[in-house]
């Protein structure tokens, strides 16, 4: 009995030592940062550039838009399918631009600023095409029902490239406003390197915002895959905030304070933007713009609802320590929360502020420590010892729920039966033919359980917006915790 107790104590101590070493910097955040950007490149649609870093990807969707005699070649596939959805694509570009703008120095030091700018431009070039006509925005390419009935890599897809748009008679305020936010945020990224391009993006952002405001209505065309359950008020506030930061024009200031609606929430996602707005505008309050004080209070409310040791905590934390809001790409809430806490901790530090939750006061380093624990969990410091970023660390998912990764390269002339495609590649319990480097998959369930099985899309499907929100915080961690 004594020997068993001694062995148990030794095992516990060993686990503690290993965890301490990991937390002290054995995780290579710079490598994780680099790989997270490579995944975004694997999601590109269109004619790939000569410097394409994903050897198993090829040109795809080269006739996108032809059905309406418009050029919609380019952009991004959102996840493991071959549809180009406007709302999540725009959110990906907005958040990636925020990271590039806020963590510019850290990305430059890591040698990744150029790659991030290229990733942003791949999206904004597409949005310029999609919004070429005033009060019209092409918001989706591809029939999602037909697409989900065929397991085929985009280079060989034969499913319909159906086109969907919003206009004055069929408005879509959420998508128009989110695209406006993406264009305004990205204009800040290019302002000092390509002023003409930045001006073009900003002008388009202004027009899209006016379209969103003047023709209000929820567009349900992306349902059931991207239904806006939160409504469009958050997107309007989000877009107005980015436009105000980019222009400092009174019209956007007045919109934010006189027309916009805000609310205290406990998540930040492609559907719900309030927490992002509140952290973003808190920076203006800290820098002396007193009217934004209310957003600091709401940002504090977000922090108080998320931190597990807050008396107002509302978020479920798994036994292993991971945020779990809902099944189905749950890691999007992990990276989004980590990103907001990272940015907010920097703002609080810069202006010597803190967060009060009832009888507890949290200093900025406490917020960052929790954000770091979330990212460390994703990168391998978790009960099952697996990195949820493909190709990172000694053990990572091998069966990402992703067509391009799981289907081997083949001749462009190959003809594949859709029913047979599932038998050949989807249902086989074998590693993917191509490594989807850098993809952060959906992650474990609420009890930290994870099965690396391609057909479990809730755990194995990656998305662009999971990674776009990881880039900024990984850049910060790489700067502060890697030599």
Q: Is the overall model pTM greater than 0.75, yes or no?
A: yes
Q: Is residue 1 part of a domain?
A: no
Residue 220 has pLDDT above 70, yes or no: yes
How high is the pLDDT of residue 15? 38
The answer to whether position 2 is within a domain reads: no
Q: Is 401 among the residues known to form the active site?
A: yes
Q: Which residue in the list 254, 401, 402, 481 is annotated as catalytic?
A: 401
**Per-residue pLDDT for 351 more than 90?**
yes
pLDDT of residue 412: 81
Asked whether the predicted pLDDT for residue 70 surpasses 80, the reply is: yes
pLDDT at 17 over 80: no
Note the pLDDT of residue 6. Answer: 39
Mean pLDDT of the chain: 94
Q: 73-125 pLDDT, tens per residue?
A: 999 999 999 999 999 999 999 999 999 999 999 999 999 999 999 999 999 99
Q: Domain range spanning residue 258?
A: 29-478
Answer whether residue 447 is part of any domain: yes
pLDDT in tens, 248-305: 999 999 999 999 999 999 999 999 999 999 999 999 999 999 999 999 999 999 999 9
What average pLDDT does this structure show over 235-255? 98
Mean pLDDT computed over 469-475: 98
Least confident window among 13-17, 30-34, 407-411: 13-17
Give the pLDDT confidence score for residue 288 in this predicted structure: 97
Model confidence at 23: pLDDT above 80: no
Given this model, what pLDDT does residue 11 score? 37
Residue 202 covered by a domain: yes
- Going from the C-alpha of 308 to that of each of 165, 362, 370, the distances in angstroms are 42, 12, 9
Q: Which pLDDT score is estimated for 287?
A: 96
CATH of the domain at 455: 1.50.10.10
Residue 1 reports pLDDT greater than 80: no
Q: How many domains does the chain have?
A: 1
Give the pLDDT mean for 473-481: 95
Average pLDDT over residues 229-245: 96
Task: Report if residue 4 sits inside a domain.
Answer: no
Tens-place pLDDT, residues 380-394 = 999 999 999 999 999
Q: Is the pLDDT of residue 3 over 50?
A: no
Residue 14 lies in a domain: no
Q: With bands split at pLDDT 50, 70 and 90, how would you rate the model's confidence at 225?
A: confident
Ranking 10-14, 31-35, 267-271, 433-437 by mean pLDDT, the lowest is: 10-14
What's the rounded mean pLDDT across residues 324-344?
97
Residue 12: pLDDT band with limits 50, 70, 90:
very low
What pLDDT score does 415 carry?
83
- pLDDT above 70 (res 374): yes
Decide which of 222 and 415 is more confident: 415
Instruction: Assess if residue 24 is contained within a domain.
Output: no
Tell me, yes or no, whether 16 lies in a domain. Answer: no
């Amino acid at each position: 009995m004594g020997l068993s107790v001694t062995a148990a104590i030794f095992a516990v101590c060993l686990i503690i030592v290993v965890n301490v070493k990991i937390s002290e910097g054995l995780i290579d955040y710079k490598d994780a940062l680099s790989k997270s950007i490579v995944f975004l490149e694997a999601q590109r649609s269109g004619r790939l550039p000569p410097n394409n870093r994903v050897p198993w990807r090829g040109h795809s969707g080269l006739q996108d838009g032809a059905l309406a005699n418009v050029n919609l070649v380019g952009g991004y596939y959102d996840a493991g399918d071959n549809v180009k959805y406007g709302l999540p694509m725009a959110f990906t570009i907005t958040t990636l631009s925020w990271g590039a703008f806020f963590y510019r120095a850290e990305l430059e030091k890591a040698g990744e600023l150029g790659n991030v700018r290229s990733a942003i431009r791949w999206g904004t070039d597409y949005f310029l095409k999609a919004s070429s006509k005033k009060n019209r925005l092409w918001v989706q390419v591809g029939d999602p029902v037909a697409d989900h009935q065929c397991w085929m890599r985009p280079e060989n897809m034969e499913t319909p490239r159906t086109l969907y748009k919003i206009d004055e008679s069929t408005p879509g305020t959420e998508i128009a406003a989110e695209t406006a936010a993406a264009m305004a945020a990205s204009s800040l990224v290019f302002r000092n390197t390509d002023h003409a391009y930045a001006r073009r993006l900003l002008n388009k952002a202004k027009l899209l915002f006016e379209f969103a405001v003047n023709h209000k209505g929820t567009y349900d065309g992306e349902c059931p895959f991207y239904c806006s359950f939160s409504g469009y008020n958050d997107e309007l506030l989000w877009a107005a905030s980015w436009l105000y930061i980019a222009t400092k024009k009174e019209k956007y200031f007045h919109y934010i304070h006189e027309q916009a609606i805000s609310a205290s929430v406990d998540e930040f996602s492609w559907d719900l933007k309030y927490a992002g707005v509140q952290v973003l505008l808190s920076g203006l309050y800290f820098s002396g713009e007193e009217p934004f004080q209310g957003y600091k209070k709401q940002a504090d409310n977000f922090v108080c609802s998320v931190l597990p040791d807050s008396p107002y905590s509302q978020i479920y934390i798994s036994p292993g320590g991971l945020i779990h809001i809902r099944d189905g790409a749950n890691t999007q809430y992990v990276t989004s929360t980590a990103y907001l806490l990272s940015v907010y901790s920097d703002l609080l530090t810069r202006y010597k502020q803190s967060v009060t939750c009832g009888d507890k006061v949290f200093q900025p380093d406490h917020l960052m420590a929790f954000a770091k624990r979330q990212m460390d969990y994703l990168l391998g410091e978790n009960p099952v010892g697996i990195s949820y970023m493909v190709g990172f660390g000694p053990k990572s998912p091998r069966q990402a729920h992703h067509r391009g990764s799981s289907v081997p390269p083949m001749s462009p002339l190959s003809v594949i039966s859709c029913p047979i495609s599932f038998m050949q590649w989807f249902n086989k319990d074998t590693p993917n033919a191509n490594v989807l480097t850098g993809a952060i998959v959906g992650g474990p369930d609420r009890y930290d359980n994870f099965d690396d099985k391609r057909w479990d899309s809730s755990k194995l499907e990656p998305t662009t917006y999971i990674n776009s929100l990881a880039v900024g915080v990984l850049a910060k961690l790489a700067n502060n915790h890697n030599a």
